[in-house]
Amino acid sequence: MNLTLNIWRQKNNTDKGGFREYKVTDVSKDMSFLEMLDVLNEQLAEKGEDPVHFDHDCREGICGMCSLYINGKPHGPLQTTTCQLHMRSFNDGETITIEPWRAKAFPVMKDLVVDRSAFDRIIQAGGYVSVNTGGVPDANEIPIPKRVADEAFDAATCIGCGACVAACKNASAMLFTSAKISQLALLPQGQVERKERAEKMVAQMDAEGFGACTNTGACEAECPKGISISNIARMNREYFSAVVSSENV
Amino acid sequence: MILDSKIPEGPLAEKWSKHKFNVKLVNPANKRKYDVIVVGTGLAGASAAASLAELGYNVKAFCFQDSPRRAHSIAAQGGINAAKNYQNDGDSVFRLFYDTIKGGDYRAREANVYRLAEVSVNIIDQCVAQGVPFAREYGGLLANRSFGGAQVSRTFYARGQTGQQLLLGAYSALSRQVANGKVKLYPRTEMMDVVIVDGKARGIVTRNLITGAIESHSAHAVLLCTGGYGNVFFLSTNAMGSNVTAAWRAHKKGALMANPCFTQIHPTCIPVSGDHQSKLTLMSESLRNDGRVWVPATAEMAEKLRKGQITANEIKEEDRDYFLERKYPSFGNLVPRDVASRNAKYVCDEGRGVNETGEAVFLDFRDAIIRDSEDVIRAKYGNLFDMYQQITGENPYKVPMKIYPAVHYTMGGLWVDYNLMTNVPGLYALGEANFSDHGANRLGASALMQGLADGYFVIPYTIGDYLAQTPYTKIPTDHPEFQKAEAEVKARIQKLLDIPGEKTVDYFHKKLGKIMWDYCGMARTEEGLKKAKAMIKELKAEFWRNVNVLGGNEELNHSLEKAHRVADFLELGELMVDDALNRNESCGGHFREEYQTPEGEALRDDENYAYVAAWQYVGEGQEEVLHKEPLLFENVKLTQRSYK
Ligand SMILES: Cc1cc2nc3c(=O)[nH]c(=O)nc-3n(C[C@H](O)[C@H](O)[C@H](O)COP(=O)(O)OP(=O)(O)OC[C@H]3O[C@@H](n4cnc5c(N)ncnc54)[C@H](O)[C@@H]3O)c2cc1C
Ligand code: SF4
Ligand code: FES
């Protein structure tokens, strides 16, 4: 197939940036979206033009490094990561618009590459169980009902890609933050620090400049890992019960 | 040069305990006087950085991705081994040790492997305490599955995302130490060189991938946890950024590279579909628990299949050749990877391959679905089946998967002693970056185990022994050795940018990959390897003459990043070929066609090759010098591996 690509180009963090149009030809339906961009970049490189920069690494839908806002949707038309999106989802002759994630807390570094270190800082605020290496009980001394373990697992599969933020008109990071809070609130290992964790992670999320949640559900609809919006409800419960009984006032 | 492996004295089962008692300790109050650099935040790096920070050392952690959580370990699917014997099926530390030594075709050190098996049980405890959601049974206790090369169920797993969950556990421990101020993170930062002062590793030079700034970092010890080099083949199951650069720069500064030709070709990957392909996707080995591998019994039938005249489901039971079950009745589909891969190649070479390229075999779940129901299979492998369908457009619940071997893991790596220290004092290598525990073939679910063993339970002890003998004095980064290393890095960048070439970096990477796959891949011959060596030399010369690296240094520049990595792969490729040529035997994943049994199995030569081949870099354009570390087997008997 032949395609027209309308791609956001921005030299660096301070550049204003803008769209540029490119043509790619001979795209096969079996290519992944990123392989299609590889083809474009080889073409640009052969002409001595600066390739389009985008983040990616595993290309298996698990590292969370790839992003891209494709035709107005994070990770494109399917509920999957951009690296797992294949060109069979597009038609010959189509024009595809490609932009970076847009959110105040995710500044653009170059072209389609953004800085998501705010997510790391939210985890640093409390997304862990405070155990040191060694001196822990035997693994089977902590039995966990399968149902609970499975639910915790569902929350734990978040890949930290940021599509939820990109999808949200308020650029809220509630889905991401609530996934971690839920995982640990469900598991017995997470009980000891449960309240403190919810408070600190929510505070950090706010400090990073992410917006509030107005329950539009766009995050859940676009999350490539199917993280459920019910995690946000759980986070809110955790947070309010924590503030009510807070020792850190 | 004498290679001292520093294996402790005494009976196998007591070596590690004794060693832990005998090593020197750093007093808790003095640990804060030492700085440690950890390059890499995969399982090995994140677990090491977190554990060392918990002990009180000041840690700086580096990775090239935008977050430590994205290290390539995140992609591991199937599981992690541990000798817990929770299933009461006869597992033990000794059995895990034995399976690993045998699986590695007797080319690993007994003492290291035993220690690995010993600490494996602690890893599971640690991960569960962190909140890693492993699969569980209805009674609430942990579930297990089996992996290749073992007859017990000792693999712990988290659906098909074990690496993700383990890495997120280690990342959370790391994040906690960042919050405590004991770890400073440097994401999007690439290590460009090691700095050696008075013969000891004292720091690194890095490039900030966003701004291009070249910076020096000083420390009392440097840990390389930088993963494997499978991407030398261009197409592999590794993440796109996986590279050899950190290890290779250390090698050029004096650290030996051990067994570089030992690479693992994984039997179950999605086959290559075209020239555009940028990477290959693994379908976890755990699938071989329930999937049956087969091809049509005859080449004629395979041809009909390729032409679309019949479909797989139409082929009758008696016309199917379940070749692994037929040849290896006791291990069946769960033979080790090297054996499974080689046999897939054999049947395809016979013209029985099942896709258009003729390079694929079936992995069929029909019988498992009839036996257990689609829901049970979905619960076990759902995400893998989805991934398969997304990539190929075929539904594996309805038609058999097509799979073919692909480069997956590198057993070779930096030579380290029992303390995980390279021959350069103060320079350590952990995880896939070292060569230590898997011999000539790694068993499934053992890399995660090794990375976490190294980081959580080995380095916290062994590094103390070294640091206790190191003065607190810090070396300022304006020291002449740092200045020199920075100048060299800058000069190399300029040299790459200045080449008035015409070809893209990927052009060279693809060419190198093809040479490596054709001549230094699943089957190797003396003649082919010699040819490969000449081709690589020529390609390397062309690279430095004709590559076109776009853009400048002072910006985010993927072309420049790749150019550095490919330049190092070109040098590594040549060494891999030298190593494969030197080893006139077949063992594990290293299969020299000249050396095989009448049944086509690997034929070892224990008399002449029961050693670790450790290579020393002696200068640009010169042949590397080989050092041999003999492997002594006191607890297992060397036999021809049999999985029949
Ligand atoms: C698809 C797939 C599935 C797998 N499944 C399993 C499995 O089920 N079970 C199992 O046991 N094993 C499995 N493996 C193997 C296993 O995942 C790896 O061997 C292991 O995770 C390697 O961990 P590591 O910590 O050594 O390195 P990695 O996780 O590769 O981490 C390397 C780190 O080094 C950093 N780095 C590299 N170079 C530089 C540099 N120059 N400068 C700065 N930083 C650098 C990277 O940023 C990264 O943080 C699988 C591998 C693949 C490819
Ligand atoms: S919640 Fe979903 S969309 Fe948001 S970061 Fe996690 S995986 Fe990505
Ligand atoms: S590149 Fe890793 S999730 Fe897309």
Among the bound ligands, the one closest to the CA of A177: 2
| Residue B125 to residue A53, Cβ atoms within 8 A | no
User: Could you report the per-residue pLDDT of A50-90, keeping only the tens digit for each?
Assistant: 999 999 999 999 999 999 999 999 999 999 999 999 999 99
Q: What is the mean pLDDT of residues B594-622?
A: 95
The protein residue with its alpha carbon nearest to ligand 2, atom 1, reads A176
Cβ(A218) – ligand 2 distance below 6 Å: no
State whether A232 and A136 are in the same domain.
yes
User: Could you report the per-residue pLDDT of B422-467, keeping only the tens digit for each?
Assistant: 999 999 999 999 998 999 999 999 999 999 999 999 999 999 999 9
| Residue B276 to residue A38, Cβ atoms within 8 A | yes
Strands B292-296 and B320-321 turn out to be antiparallel
The predicted structure's pLDDT at residue A6: 98
The predicted structure's pLDDT at residue B270: 95
User: Could you report the per-residue pLDDT of B250-271, keeping only the tens digit for each?
Assistant: 999 999 999 999 999 999 999 9
Nearest chain A CA: its distance from B254 CA (Å): 30
State whether A228 and A153 are in the same domain.
yes
Q: Which among A90, A110, A130 is the end of a domain?
A: A110
Check pLDDT > 80 for residue A183: yes
Check pLDDT > 60 for residue B79: yes
User: Could you report the per-residue pLDDT of B227-253, keeping only the tens digit for each?
Assistant: 999 999 999 999 999 999 999 999 999
| Residue B133 to residue A11, Cβ atoms within 8 A | no
State whether A121 and A105 are in the same domain.
no
Check pLDDT > 90 for residue B567: yes
Residue B273 confidence class, pLDDT cut points 50, 70, 90: confident
**Distance in Å, CA B240 to ligand 3 centroid:** 10
Sheet strands (E) in A86-238 = 95-99, 108-110, 113-114
Residue A165 confidence class, pLDDT cut points 50, 70, 90: very high
Contacts of A145 in chain B (CB under 8 A): 136, 140
The protein residue with its alpha carbon nearest to ligand 1, atom 4, reads B76
Q: In B, residues 436-495, which contact A (CB 8 Å cutoff)?
A: 456-457, 460
Using a pLDDT cut of 90, give the percent of chain A over it. Answer: 95
Closest Cβ opposite residue B140 in set A39, A42, A144:
A144
Check pLDDT > 90 for residue B582: yes
**Cβ of residue B140 closer than 8 Å to a chain A Cβ:** yes
Nearest chain B CA: its distance from A18 CA (Å): 18
- Element containing residue B268 per DSSP (H, E): strand B263-269
The predicted structure's pLDDT at residue A245: 78
A230-244 vs A174-186: helix crossing angle, rounded to 10 = 70
ipTM of predicted complex: 0.97
Cα gap B322→A13, rounded to integer Å: 57
CA A196 to chain centre: 24
State whether A228 and A213 are in the same domain.
yes
State whether A88 and A166 are in the same domain.
no
Closest Cβ opposite residue B274 in set A30, A59, A132:
A30
By CB atoms closer than 10 A (0-12, 13-18, 19+), residue B1 is: exposed
The predicted structure's pLDDT at residue A246: 65
Check pLDDT > 70 for residue A247: no
Whether A96 is covered by a domain: the verdict is yes
The predicted structure's pLDDT at residue B285: 83
State whether A198 and A180 are in the same domain.
yes
| Residue A57 to residue B277, Cβ atoms within 8 A | no
State whether A125 and A238 are in the same domain.
yes
Structure-token pair, residue B312: 């797989």
How does DSSP assign B424-437, residue by residue?
Answer: STTEEE-GGGB--S
State whether A157 and A210 are in the same domain.
yes
Check pLDDT > 60 for residue A249: no
Q: Comparing B266-406 with B480-604, is the CATH topology the same?
A: no
Q: Suggest the residue from A34, A62, A87, A189 to mutate for an interface test with chain B (most B CBs closer than 10 A).
A: A62
By CB atoms closer than 10 A (0-12, 13-18, 19+), residue B353 is: buried
From B448, B450, B564, B565, mutation site for ligand 1 pocket: most ligand atoms within 8 A of C-beta: B448
Closest Cβ opposite residue B175 in set A48, A124, A149:
A124
Whether A249 is covered by a domain: the verdict is no
* Counted domains in chain A: 2
- For residue B38, give the 3-state DSSP assignment: strand
Neighbours of B410 (CB within 10 A): 32
Cβ(A182) – ligand 3 distance below 6 Å: no
B337 is catalytic: yes
Neighbours of B440 (CB within 10 A): 29
Residue B150 confidence class, pLDDT cut points 50, 70, 90: confident
State whether A13 and A72 are in the same domain.
yes
State whether A121 and A240 are in the same domain.
yes
Whether A186 is covered by a domain: the verdict is yes
State whether A60 and A96 are in the same domain.
yes
The predicted structure's pLDDT at residue A248: 54
What CATH number should be reported for the domain holding residue A38? 3.10.20.30
Q: Which among A88, A110, A132 is the end of a domain?
A: A110
DSSP state of B210: T
Residue of B nearest to A39 (CA): B276
Nearest chain B CA: its distance from A30 CA (Å): 7
Among the bound ligands, the one closest to the CA of A231: 2
State whether A100 and A28 are in the same domain.
yes
Architecture per CATH, B266-406: Alpha-Beta Complex (3.90)
Closest C-alpha among B642, B638, B644, B643 to residue B106: B638
User: Could you report the per-residue pLDDT of A95-148, keeping only the tens digit for each?
Assistant: 999 999 999 999 999 999 999 999 999 999 999 999 999 999 999 999 999 999
**Distance in Å, CA B228 to ligand 1 centroid:** 7
Nearest chain A CA: its distance from B599 CA (Å): 37
By CB atoms closer than 10 A (0-12, 13-18, 19+), residue B332 is: middle
| Residue A123 to residue B551, Cβ atoms within 8 A | no
**Distance in Å, CA A174 to ligand 2 centroid:** 10
Contact B251, B414 (CB under 8 A): yes
- Classify the C-alpha dihedral B276-B280-B283-B288 as positive or negative: positive
What CATH number should be reported for the domain holding residue A143? 1.10.1060.10
For the structural domain made of B480-604, what CATH number should be given?
1.20.58.100
Residue of A nearest to B74 (CA): A63
Q: Which among A110, A129, A157 is the end of a domain?
A: A110
Cα gap A238→A155, rounded to integer Å: 15
Where along chain B do its domains lie? 266-406, 480-604
- Element containing residue B577 per DSSP (H, E): helix B558-582
User: Could you report the per-residue pLDDT of B312-334, keeping only the tens digit for each?
Assistant: 999 999 999 999 999 999 999 99
Q: Please name the residue that has the structure tokens 């700086």.
A: B60
**Catalytic residue from among B107, B154, B337, B604:** B337
Whether A56 is covered by a domain: the verdict is yes
Whether A99 is covered by a domain: the verdict is yes
- For residue B573, give the 3-state DSSP assignment: helix
Range of the domain at A101: 3-110
The predicted structure's pLDDT at residue B387: 86
pTM over 0.95: yes
By CB atoms closer than 10 A (0-12, 13-18, 19+), residue A196 is: middle
Q: In B, residues 558-577, which contact A (CB 8 Å cutoff)?
A: 558-559
Amino acid letter, residue B257: M
Q: How many CB pairs under 8 A join A and B?
A: 212
